[in-house]
Amino acid sequence: MLSNSNVINAFAMGRSAKNRNLYTDGKVLINYSTAIAQRLSNGNVVFNATKYSVSTSKIQSWTRAAIGRCIVVEGVPMGAKDLQRYIG
C-alpha cells in the first residue's frame, strides 16, 4: 500500500494513486470523502484549507508543500468533491 506522501506526490505530478483513505485521479486529491486539492483546466490548483481533524491537517500540510503556489479556499463542508465552487 502506498504512503500518504506517495499519493500526494502522485497528485502533484498529475498521476493517479490511492491508499486506504487518500486517493487521486491526478486531478483531484480526496481524503476520505472530501477534496483536499483540485487541479483546474487552466493548470491552477485549488487547495482546501478548512480544518477537519489532526490527521487531515497533516495531509493538508504535506499537500500544500508538494503543490506550492495555489488558490486557497476555506469553509468547504465535509464530503465536497468540487472545490471550484468555493473560489472567492
Phi-psi region of 66 (alpha: psi -120 to 50; beta: other; left: phi over 0): alpha
| Alpha-carbon distances of 70 from 21, 22, 36, rounded to whole Å | 23, 20, 12
The model's pLDDT over 39-72, given as tens digits with 9 standing for 90+, comes to 999 999 999 999 999 999 999 999 999 999 999 9
The model's pLDDT over 7-46, given as tens digits with 9 standing for 90+, comes to 999 999 999 999 999 999 999 999 999 999 999 999 999 9
Annotated domain spans of the chain: 4-78
Query: What's the CA gap between 47 and 23, in Å, rounded?
Result: 15
